[in-house]
Amino acid sequence: MISLKIISGTDRPNSYALRVSKYVQEKYRQQGVSAEIIDLQNFPLDQVVGGKYGEELPAVDNFMEQAVIADGLVVVCPEYNGGYPGILKLFIDYLPFPNSLDKKPIALIGEANGAFGAMRAVEQLQQVFGYRNAHIFPERVFISRVNKNFDDEDGIKNEFQQQLLEAQINGFPEFVKNLQGDESLITDG
């Protein structure tokens, strides 16, 4: 049985990122896939003030460990100023290098009030995760006008976007399992 983690990609209180993450988590639960949420509101920011890269930081290491041990990651990412939120980059920069993302399967969901559903932010993330040798699931989802277009119970009101979201949720576990079946494609740490 695979175990996924959903990263809610902002520390903004009451974010759509967290609401979408909870919706997606329930959808995975319905198909018997464990998918806990890593809420970046809980990132131990106070521990990294001043730049503590490469230092032993138990609270940070424990927080990161949730992502490190996951078989696959689902990143729910809003768009802030045409990019992904700073807290998400900080999170990535404190993930152990290189093994934590090396050959890690990652699915991407963008959400924003704008017309393109955080496409810019998601494509920037693809560049970073690509640099870190992750396996990006090709079926990305962009939730545009999220403030009008998303319902906590029913998901995305736009039927086509909802179909894409469901296709990602149905397809990603198989993608993760297939990668696990080919040992040359999976990480060792």
Tokens of 121: 């932010």
3-state DSSP assignment of residue 67: helix
**Cα–Cα distance between 161 and 151 in angstroms, integer?**
13
* Binding track over 80-99 against ligand FMN, x by CB under 6 A: xxx-----------------
Give me the residue whose beta carbon is nearest to ligand FMN: 114
Instruction: Examine residue 171 and tell whether it contacts ligand FMN (CB under 6 A).
Output: no
Instruction: Enumerate the H helices of 57-112 as residue ranges.
Output: 58-68, 86-94
Least Å distance, CB 112 to ligand FMN, is 3
CB 111 within 8 A of CB 16: yes
Nearer to ligand FMN, 57 or 128 (CB): 128
Q: Interface residues for ligand FMN in 31-90 (CB under 6 A)?
A: 78-82
Instruction: Examine residue 146 and tell whether it contacts ligand FMN (CB under 6 A).
Output: yes
Site stretch for ligand FMN (CB under 6 A), options 24-32, 48-56, 66-74, 112-120 = 112-120
Residue in this structure with the two tokens 């001043």, named with its chain if needed: 50
CA atoms within 13 A on the CB side of 88: 24
Instruction: Examine residue 114 and tell whether it contacts ligand FMN (CB under 6 A).
Output: yes
Q: Which of 159, 88, 155, 109 is nearest to 4 (CA)?
A: 109
Q: Among 4, 7, 17, 35, which residue interacts with ligand FMN (rule: CB under 6 A)?
A: 17
Q: Among 5, 6, 10, 129, which residue interacts with ligand FMN (rule: CB under 6 A)?
A: 10
Amino acid in the structure at residue 181:
G
Instruction: Examine residue 7 and tell whether it contacts ligand FMN (CB under 6 A).
Output: no
Q: Which of 73, 87, 77 is nearest to 121 (CA)?
A: 77
> Which chain residues interact with ligand FMN by CB under 6 A?
10, 12, 15-17, 78-82, 111-114, 146-147
